Amino acid sequence: MAYMKALNSTQFYACSKLAPLLRKFLLQLNPNANQSSTPSSSSSLLNPQKIHFVASVPSDRRDEPHTMAHLSKYFYEATAGKTCRDLYHPQYASCWKALAVNVCSLLPGSYKLFFPLLAIPPLVKGGGYTRQYWRDHTLSYSEISFKTYLIAVMGLSMHCCIYHIFGRHKYYFMGATGFISATIIAPFLSHPHLRLQGITYFNMMLEVILKKSEIRLVQVLRESKLFGTLLFMIFNTRIMELLQHGAVNQFWMMYPAKIREVDRNSEDNSRVMGRIYPRGYKACSHDRSCDAYILDGILKYSFAGFTIEFARAVISKFPLLYKRPDRFLPGLGKILSFKLMFFLAAYIAIYRMTGCLLCRHHGRDRPIHNRIAAFLSGTSYYIYPKYQVFTLAFTKFVEMSYDHWIKTAKQLPEWATRLNKIPFLHLAYMVGVGYMYHALTFHAHLSPPFNNKALNYCSGNRIENMKRRIVALMIETEWNKV
């Protein structure tokens, strides 16, 4: 199994471990046999649940060097002489039939994928539920789901187009189908949707690049929770500093209070904070008492964290309610996590308490208080060291620093004016979708769970089935050499 080493995709490594079973499977499998493509038809030996035992693969194996050239070489060897039907739609002889089936069957998948986007925001909104809000919210959900469905149909059909144009399967075009579909749809997406998806896909791409990096320093540092926490603290400090300055105003987990003049005749009505650090007047910039300000933040952020985790768990275990109702609650209990809740609560508690103590100590608010409080509140990342949080902070840090510079610089250099004309959001979205499509096919063990869910829900598991066929073909080719 020489090529297994070179591949270094855990999935292919997984296949090598499954070799005896796979061989049996391959012998039974007639490449042209009807292979159902519905998500529920995952009973084969190569089903995603069984093949995705990535977590059990030792991390040292995951980090073995591999070259793209090797992977593409084995891809070309395995798919030589295979038609688009063999790889993408074995159950339909005609590409048109496959397209028609995709058009008719893929719509519910996109609506299912974005269901949390419909359910969670109203749960954490906490008020302002007007008729207009519900109308806009539902329309927005419907719009993003429908456009994603169009991308899925286009992406899948493009595999056939590319095969017919080149007369063979193209390794690099596997992801390009996602890129081209996203390029076609991007101009029709509303700005909030483009932003949401562009940043999500770009961040997932960063995650895969970080996980995939063969640079020794990156490999060591990405395993270090302490280093991740330190970087998050730095990003958080800069983001909060820029938000307080006010030239850029973007979404972040929290917003600092604007610094205001101290009224020395005001009364400090904080009992707890007053006891910890007494001050004869109100030194902070926030409204209400320090106690109410801190407690309110902790409660709101805990509630938001819990609601998100709870809704996520309910949505993922929902099918059990009608299949196996007795297993619903135990299943829910198993996957329900409180880490996001603790992270958000700790984040806001540290920030607000530090800010209040510093203001009390100095008798008034200063920008440095916000910086110190933000730096310290970044330690909460240690509770929830997720790539999604890290990449979001990194992207915001870069984007907001750049935006701030553009808006506040007295005179911009020529290159910056030119750079400003590049539609970065569109590019991030297009490249991100294409890259993640490629990552799911060839580096599934590095692909974030949301990406697997997104592509497989929207494609009705066709991408997963396609990937399984490619893996099976690669193994078959290798065995035939022995």
Q: Is 205 in the site for Zn ion (CB under 5 A)?
A: no
Could you tell me which residues come within 8 angstroms of residue 25 by beta carbon, excluding any fewer than 6 positions away? 44, 45, 46, 472
- Which residue lies nearer to Zn ion by CB, 147 or 371? 371
- Which residue lies nearer to Zn ion by CB, 84 or 383? 84
In angstroms, the CA 239 to CA 81 distance is 53
Closest CA to 154 of 116, 110, 195: 110
Q: Return the residue of 15, 22, 71, 95 that touches Zn ion, per CB under 5 A.
A: 95
Q: Is 84 in the site for Zn ion (CB under 5 A)?
A: yes
Select the span of 57-65, 232-240, 285-293, 319-327 touching Zn ion (CB under 5 A): 285-293
Select the span of 74-82, 83-91, 236-244, 332-340 touching Zn ion (CB under 5 A): 83-91
Q: What are phi and psi for residue 35, nearest 5 degrees?
A: -120, 110
In angstroms, the CA 242 to CA 88 distance is 49
Q: Return the residue of 14, 210, 290, 350 that touches Zn ion, per CB under 5 A.
A: 290
Residue written as tokens 């395995």?
78
- Which residue lies nearer to Zn ion by CB, 284 or 471? 284
- Which residue lies nearer to Zn ion by CB, 151 or 284? 284
- Which residue lies nearer to Zn ion by CB, 52 or 369? 369
Select the span of 54-62, 104-112, 179-187, 278-286 touching Zn ion (CB under 5 A): 278-286
Give the type of residue at 196: L
How far is Cα of residue 104 from the mean position of the Cα atoms in its chain?
28
What is the smallest separation between the CB atom of 345 and Zn ion, expressed in angstroms? 18
Q: Is 466 in the site for Zn ion (CB under 5 A)?
A: no
Closest CA to 153 of 111, 193, 99, 197: 99
Select the span of 148-156, 229-237, 289-297, 309-317 touching Zn ion (CB under 5 A): 289-297
Could you tell me which residues come within 8 angstroms of residue 194 by beta carbon, excluding any fewer than 6 positions away? 186, 425, 426, 429
Using only the alpha carbons of the chain, give its radius of gyration. 26
What is the smallest separation between the CB atom of 164 and Zn ion, expressed in angstroms? 7
Contact 298, 337 (CB under 8 A): no
Stretch 24-63: interaction string toward Zn ion, x if CB under 5 A: ----------------------------------------
Q: Is 239 in the site for Zn ion (CB under 5 A)?
A: no
- Angle, CA of 275, 280 and 281, to the nearest 5°: 110
Q: Is 436 in the site for Zn ion (CB under 5 A)?
A: no
Q: What is the DSSP string of 234-292?
A: HHHHHHHHHHHH-S-----S--PPPP----TTS----HHHHHHS--SS--SSSSS-HHH
Q: Is 186 in the site for Zn ion (CB under 5 A)?
A: no
Residues 348-367 that bind Zn ion (CB under 5 A): 356
Cα–Cα separations (whole angstroms), residue 416 to 413, 419, 439: 5, 5, 32
- Which residue lies nearer to Zn ion by CB, 94 or 250? 94
What is the smallest separation between the CB atom of 284 and Zn ion, expressed in angstroms? 3
In angstroms, the CA 168 to CA 325 distance is 48
- Which residue lies nearer to Zn ion by CB, 84 or 124? 84
Residues 148-177 that bind Zn ion (CB under 5 A): 160
- Which residue lies nearer to Zn ion by CB, 88 or 397? 88
What is the smallest separation between the CB atom of 160 and Zn ion, expressed in angstroms? 3
Determine the length of the chain: 482
DSSP 401: H
Q: Is 284 in the site for Zn ion (CB under 5 A)?
A: yes
- Which residue lies nearer to Zn ion by CB, 159 or 443? 159
What is the smallest separation between the CB atom of 428 and Zn ion, expressed in angstroms? 30
> Residues touching Zn ion: how many (CB under 5 A)?
6
Q: Collapsing DSSP states into helix, strand and coil, what is residue 19?
A: helix
- Which residue lies nearer to Zn ion by CB, 296 or 399? 296
User: Which positions lie near Zn ion, rule CB under 5 A?
Assistant: 84, 95, 160, 284, 290, 356
